């Protein structure tokens, strides 16, 4: 039995969906613990592409139970659309469970999200406009609507009416928008409630029962470490805690039950939206990485900014999350490059910095200090073992592991399940990895 947390070690979009899907084969329960429909996981199975936003990637395995935890925020309309799309593709959602205490994204959340972003002007943060931030804000303000309220609308209708009228004041007076009709909104959400009702459970109890039964539990993260509201590149962050510690809070379990934490990082770096990005490439190489890597957001379709691998944020992710191992994805995207650069430290006003600065102004002035490595100019998509990789590719991976001081357990070489080198299965596998923590290769 093993309870494993999978998190993003960069700015999200690292390929967590594929890694979670791979590990879900060995998991009995997969738990999504934070975020909302602003997240997106793309999984390719036998040539068929599945785009998931809120439902855990484990849903593609019929015997795996999938839990959307209380730390998430749920847009019922989008969730039901996602369920319908899975059904059209022949995927059952009988094993999908939704936390009764998760908060609900309402129409006014989406309107406020888009209007406030527009009002920010040059200070915009790059929100997806899906209402996630305003939903979490209401949760903290203790004026939110929970799934429980949705299921008991007859008892909580006054709460809905009050919330809608309260937000109408903001929509009209602050943003100059038309008010929402409480009756129409309540009628719409009443329909959602009945469709979701069969899936709603006490999610913390559900997960705890799996732990007592010694099942394998996989905690699936959304977004990435550098988007964490407390530990990311604030204010250009999400509204929840995508780090490993957030999995315990959002799932409703204690930290002592976590056995392993695996971070997912691309072989290069990307980010979506606004904010500093020290290794960003605004040239033909950045364009090439974006085109070969199909760097477009699963949720928004926005083009991702691309840059070289940043080992400073890699080390930071290892520290903040307590990473046991790393999955490196999209190594194949680098196949055609003559040389590859890795950021090993930053230059800040003439001084070398090897650690991620919490000061946003300092981070904005960071200039990357690079080490240049030879490329391999050979395709790697058909490689299925470390021994099959070009020696330059293996050296590159070893260098990344050494810089982060974390062993590499999985290497992804394409979107398909089969395009993967499993060095170590974090759930069932032996304690073996590409690189030991002391930096010496495994014999």
Catalytic positions: 13, 41
φ, ψ for residue 322 (rounded to 5)?
65, 45
Residue 262 near residue 426 (C-beta atoms within 8 A) = yes
What would the DSSP string read from start to end of 324-353?
A: SEEEEE-GGGGTT-SEEEEEEEEEETTEEE
d(CA 19, CA 9): 13
Beta strand residue intervals within 291-433, DSSP E? 305-307, 309-310, 325-329, 339-348, 351-353, 367-374, 408-412, 420-422
Q: Retrieve residue 174's tokens.
A: 């602050």
Burial bucket for residue 185 (CB in 10 Å: 0-12, 13-18, 19+)? middle
Contacts 24+ apart (CB under 8 A), 83-86: 83/55, 86/50, 86/55, 86/59
**For the CA atoms of 242, 243, 249, 254, what is the dihedral angle to 10 degrees?**
150
Residue 385 makes CB contacts below 8 A (sequence gap 6+) with 421
Return the bridge partners of 6, or none. Answer: 220, 262
Pure H helices in 89-239: 107-120, 132-141, 147-151, 153-173, 182-196, 203-212
As a whole number of Å, the end-to-end CA separation of the chain is: 27
Q: Which of 6, 1, 3 is nearest to 242 (CA)?
A: 6
d(CA 237, CA 229): 6
Residue 53 near residue 82 (C-beta atoms within 8 A) = yes
């Amino acid at each position: 039995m093993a309870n494993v947390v999978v998190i993003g070690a960069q700015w999200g979009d690292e390929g967590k969906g594929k890694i979670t899907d791979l590990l879900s084969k060995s998991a009995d329960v997969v738990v999504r613990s934070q975020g909302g429909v602003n997240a997106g996981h793309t999984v390719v199975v036998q040539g068929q592409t599945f785009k998931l936003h809120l439902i855990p990637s484990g849903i593609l395995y019929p015997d795996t139970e999938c839990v959307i935890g209380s730390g998430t925020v749920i847009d019922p309309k989008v969730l039901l659309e996602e369920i319908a799309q899975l059904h059209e593709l022949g995927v059952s959602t009988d094993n999908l469970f939704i936390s009764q205490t998760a908060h609900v994204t309402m129409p006014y959340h989406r309107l406020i999200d888009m209007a406030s972003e527009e009002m920010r002007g040059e200070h915009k943060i790059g929100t997806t406009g899906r209402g996630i931030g305003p939903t979490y804000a209401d949760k903290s303000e203790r004026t939110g609507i929970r799934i429980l309220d949705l299921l008991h609308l007859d008892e909580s209708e006054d709460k809905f009416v009050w919330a809608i009228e309260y937000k109408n004041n903001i929509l009209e007076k602050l943003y100059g928008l038309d008010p929402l009709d409480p009756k129409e909104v309540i009628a719409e959400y009443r329909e959602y409630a009945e469709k979701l009702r069969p899936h709603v459970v006490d999610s913390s109890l559900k997960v705890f029962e799996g732990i007592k039964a010694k099942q394998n539990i996989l905690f699936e993260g959304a977004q990435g470490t550098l988007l964490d509201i407390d530990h990311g590149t604030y204010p250009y962050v999400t509204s929840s805690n995508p780090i490993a510690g957030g999995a315990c809070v959002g799932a409703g379990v204690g930290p002592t039950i976590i056995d392993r934490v695996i971070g997912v990082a691309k072989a290069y770096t990307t980010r979506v939206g606004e904010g500093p990005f020290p290794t960003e490439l605004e040239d033909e190489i950045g364009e090439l990485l974006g085109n070969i890597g199909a760097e477009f957001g699963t949720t928004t379709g926005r083009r991702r900014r691309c840059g070289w691998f940043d080992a400073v944020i890699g080390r930071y992710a290892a520290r903040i999350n307590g990473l046991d191992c790393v999955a490196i994805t999209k190594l194949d995207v680098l196949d055609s490059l003559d040389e590859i650069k890795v950021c090993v430290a930053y230059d800040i006003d003439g001084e070398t910095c090897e650690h991620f600065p919490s000061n946003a102004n300092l981070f904005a002035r960071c200039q990357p200090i690079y080490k240049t490595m030879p490329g391999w100019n050979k395709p790697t998509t058909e490689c299925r073992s470390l021994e099959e990789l070009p020696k330059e590719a293996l050296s590159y991976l070893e260098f990344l592991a050494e810089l982060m001081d974390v062993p590499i357990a999985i290497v992804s070489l394409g979107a398909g399940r089969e395009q993967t080198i499993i060095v170590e299965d974090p759930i069932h596998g032996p304690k073996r990895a590409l690189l030991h923590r002391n930096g010496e290769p495994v014999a």
